[in-house]
Structure 1
């Protein structure tokens, strides 16, 4: 089997890239995805995320774990990642967030020409079908449906009003380049009549509509990549397993890795590409020394504050909650409205913990349920939680191999809070979050504060709570970062340095973590990469195509 372009990973980047490249009928594309089709009811119904996220049964979820984290009292972190067409956009909270314009301008300052805000904005717009229509910041003709929430809960509105009592400005749009303020998230959710209220994953947006129609596009699901095939310094294909069969697909033009911040560096290392100390101890022969592979891991650490509530107009565990769930499920099937359409994280805030800061340094997710330990620890009754994360962490981690077995999970070490500045930001963010919730508009929804938090806590007490309970909010990036220095893995055209016909196109190429959720930026990266790859189609075909 062979194709012009072989793409490994059908997630947010891979689904986007496969659809865009196969628009040209003169090229062939083969997409390998380790998971399934990504179109089950758990994916289509937004509230189905609560079934997939905890990782029980690994439904559409790799459900990775980190190594023990010394700064989190030796706990192993949990890293849910999507395993299906659509990737993590099939299991996430659907939040459409681009980050701040300064994040991208910083990439350009680091030598990544063409990745400043003004250069990437057209790709955000090209991807987008925003139900508000088109303007200078937004597009209305792209595949990715972006919607206002159709059924936000009253408690979410109260959270916004509570923040305004602290002179925090309300913001109607977090995606114009300046996201400071409080409001409601827009979401990647269908707003057309046919699929109104359904999740719009990257696969649902880009891939599902075309994969059965294009003869030049081959999509193989349950296909686990095991090694990049090399001839000298040129990538020529991919070895993979599908069921019990070992197979190969040859790439006439390029191999493109879209596995994300964990799987892409792992596949490079399994193929002998990376730092020798990550590869040789596992008995793998070196193919190409590239010391930055797997380094520079960055992630948003998340800390949860939660309250029990007497209000039952939210997700809860109990008789009333069960009746409500059935009622809302029937409504969602009828018109796409109601709580089944919720992203759970309805309320948004991007805030500064100190007035002197140039950019917001924390992000809040206001969630209409008690989400404790990734919904793996359940609490009877009703309530809400507010999640706070430090937006631009200084801590840096590492992705490596646990063994030479390509079916093993990667070794993930985020090294959370290894830089003290991140802990200080988290403490300040937690204090500010609690101050918002204690404002009068939230009084009717607060009943009992959870986890032992209380008035008058010292910094040392906050620190103990954070080290005891904080974990990821699902935004790992940076492990195949682009740049122009010796530790860069790819150049600004996303080509792997020192090799031919091999690129990485996913969140792993981000030099630094953007100040927000990472799904929309990952789709943007793939949109931009498609243009770069098309511009390079004059590259000679591999000899195997003769």
Structure 2
């Protein structure tokens, strides 16, 4: 009863905070908020709830986990189940707030300190619609990592992905062997799939269909079926087909790695210590034995050292894990020599990077009214229904407007028929949805893109939707390296999108597939038609011609945060790999990498679900060794 009472007391300040965030409140809200907090005695309560552990220099732990994203949080939680093991979880960012847990606000989070804010080096063949041709590369800097700022899409991948990992020299990573770890993490609440063997209902991570649905998504799903795509559970027997989106939400609220794994246990386990705003600068390594024995990090502008009795585990993500390895002397000899870092172990860290590039569009207008997600349409009544009544069906539970996914094959594909090439992401909105205040800025789009293509839609509040076209298996290979040995500098990131011309052609095929779906009767009943706004820079091509779309693909290039392979998994005999099938760094002792940087090739998936799986599997690998 006491915890329920406290949760109800929190609702008023949460409501006021969200109203303030949405610009619906008045100038006295700050005073009123503080008055209410003090009146119900919550100031100290909130401080206690969010106060981080204060590090003690030279502390000893059995395991030190660097990074509290999906893999790091799940791994730290599982390791700390053993009360005899002391576990430190170190995170560079802070704690989630109400904006993080409100799915419709996902686009705004990329403008906050919860995003590392990385950008690529200027691209020659892509991102022409971005300022300085720099692609935005958002990554989470907060307890929960990217799972706290992403669009919450839950998509595990294709069985052939994992069978390919195993066949490439990674025993234990076939589909049949990793499926139990997907299931272990999942608490599915998916209507119609209650008896599916592909879903579990007792894990930490909530997965549910987004309860808010527009008329537009119903028409899209129906039209996709009319075009020949079956209805499917894309996390089940077959990916091929169309489905309403499955999301990592709980009753319409974001369910991040922190919310699912760490928050429920951090106050119950004295052997688990969580450190926020702690920036790891390097791993401590005994050069004679090549054994990791601790970490150095900065906390409140002071250096600290933690010692590890058993292992140091990097779960800092596809950019930060390779950066920390290189700062510690593990990486390409030429790069480390150039920046003056003594070489301990020569490995191709960051030499290979894959990403899913997609095309932001095409966009379609409709004859409907009130169906598109515009943040300016959110009313106090929506907020009250969502927060006070706990209604998971309001627009606030929309995961940034994403409502459905379609998986399909192209004619040029030489992959087996059950292995999709393209994903269509149906979004009930566009850059117009937030009137240029969030998604445009987060993606680094130029003003002229918004002004010429989307401003009129925003001003008229005209119903429309966008089909983002994403390629699953790109041939283009990028890389990551360090410009200097300053641990607080950004790594240099060059995705080299569209270096392989074939990648553009796959996206062109995906655009044509989306146009065919729009011709179906269900779409025609709502008057769906292509938005005829010329993409800036593509005026020299006939609108909607193949060359026009190729130009648009290179201009409206958009990454979905799926970078992999910077610490690639594979046998030591493979010169492109960094870790083995047990995720141990080649040639090193007591050092592993546990995050999506180990994924060897681009999966047929968004990478968030796989990150949870990797954390769960790594926990078993580590427990089996140290128990």
Q: What TM-score, normalized to structure 1?
A: 0.92
Shift of 1:284: 1.4
Greater mean alpha carbon deviation, residues 364-373 or residues 261-270: 364-373
| Equivalent position of 1:142 in the other structure | 203
Residue 35 of structure 1, aligned match among 89, 93, 114: 93
Distance 1:28 1:163, change over 3 A: same
Q: Is the aligned partner of 1:88 residue 2:142?
A: no
C-alpha change, 1:134 and 1:530, in structure 2 (3 Å) is farther
Shift, 1:314, TM fit? 3.7
Aligned equivalent of 1:13, options 55, 59, 71: 71
Aligned position for 1:226: 281
Greater Rg over alpha carbons, structure: 2
| Change in 2 beyond 3 A, CA 1:363/1:448 | closer
Aligned match of 2:264: 209
**Alignment partners' CA distance in 2, 1:141 and 1:125:** 9
Query: CA–CA distance in 1 between the matches of 2:138 and 2:369?
Result: 28
Match of 2:326 in 1: 269
Q: CA deviation at 1:198?
A: 1.2
Selected match of 2:407 from 350, 361, 367: 350
- For the pair 1:164 / 2:246, whether they are aligned, the reply is no
1:155 match? 216
Q: Which moved more, 1:96-105 or 1:457-466?
A: 457-466
Displacement of 1:288: 1.3
Following TM superposition, by how much is the alpha carbon of 1:456 offset from its aligned partner in structure 2, in angstroms? Answer: 7.0
The answer to whether the aligner puts 1:278 opposite 2:278 as a matched pair is no
Match of 2:428 among 364, 368, 393: 368
1:403 and 1:314, CA in 2 relative to 1: closer, same or farther beyond 3 A?
Answer: farther
8 Å contact kept, 2:353–2:479? yes
Residue matched to 1:464: 551
Give the match for residue 51 of structure 2. none
Larger CA deviation: 80-89 vs 301-310: 301-310
The match for 2:620 is 531
Q: Report the counterpart of residue 584 of structure 2 in structure 1.
A: 495
Q: 2: CA distance between counterparts of 1:432 and 1:423?
A: 14
Q: Distance in 1 between matches of 2:312 and 2:533?
A: 48
| Alignment partners' CA distance in 2, 1:460 and 1:222 | 48
Structure-1 separation of matches of 2:613 and 2:607: 10
| 1:68 match | 122
* Distance of 2:586 and 2:310 partners within structure 1: 17
1:105 aligns to what?
163
Partner of 1:253: helix, strand, or coil? strand
Displaced runs of 4+ in structure 1, greater than 4 A? 453-456
Instruction: Please state whether the residue corresponding to 2:249 is helix, strand or coil.
Output: coil
Report the equivalent of 1:296: 352
- Tell me the distance in 1 between the aligned counterparts of 2:427 and 2:618: 34
Structure 1 CA distance for aligned equivalents of residues 279 and 195 of structure 2: 39
Alignment of 1:511-522 (within 5 A): 511-522=600-611
The equivalent position to 2:396 in structure 1, one of 327, 340, 346, is 340
Q: Which has the higher helix share?
A: 2
The structural deviation recorded for 1:109 is: 1.1
Deviations 1:312-359 (A, max 9, x none): 434555xxx634443322221122321100112111001001276422
Q: 2: CA distance between counterparts of 1:499 and 1:78?
A: 33
Does the CA-based 8 Å contact 1:100-1:177 persist in structure 2?
A: no
- Residue pair 1:507, 1:518 contacting (<8 A) in 2 also: yes
Alignment partners' CA distance in 2, 1:416 and 1:149: 32
Alpha-carbon separation, structure 1, partners of 2:92 and 2:195: 36
Structure 1 range deviating more: 443-452 or 336-345: 443-452
**Secondary structure of the equivalent of 1:349?**
strand
Classify 1:308/1:478 alpha carbon distance in 2 versus 1 (closer, same or farther; 3 Å).
same
Structure 1's unaligned 5+ residue stretches are 191-195, 539-546
SS at match of 1:70: coil
1:104 aligns to what SS in structure 2? helix
Contact kept in structure 2, 1:6 and 1:30, CA below 8 Å: yes
Q: Which residue of 1 aligns with 2:502?
A: 421
Secondary structure of the residue aligned to 1:83 is coil
Distance 1:498 1:357 in 2: 35
CA contact (8 A) 1:41 1:48 kept: no
CA RMSD for the aligned pairs? 1.9
Q: CA deviation at 1:385?
A: 1.1
1:166 positional shift: 1.3
Task: Sort the Cα spacing of 1:514 and 1:433 in 2 relative to 1 into closer, same or farther, 3 A.
Answer: same
Contact 1:134 1:140 in 2 (8 A): no
Q: Is the 8 A contact 1:235 1:502 kept in 2?
A: yes
What corresponds to 1:200 in structure 2? Answer: 255
Give 1:452 deviation, angstroms: 2.2
Once the two structures are superposed, residues 365-402 of structure 1 have per-residue CA deviations (whole angstroms, 9 ceiling, x without a partner) of 10011147944357312421110011011111101113
Taking a change above 3 Å as real, the CA distance of residues 356 and 394 of structure 1, as seen in their structure-2 partners, is closer
Aligned partner of 2:382 in structure 1 is 328
Match of 2:476 in 1: 395
Alpha-carbon offset, residue 442 of structure 1: 2.2
Q: Relative to structure 1, is the Cα distance of residues 357 and 229 closer, same or farther in structure 2, using a 3 angstrom cutoff?
A: closer
- The 2-side partners of 1:512 and 1:8 are apart by 23
Q: Report whether the alignment pairs 1:452 with 2:556.
A: no
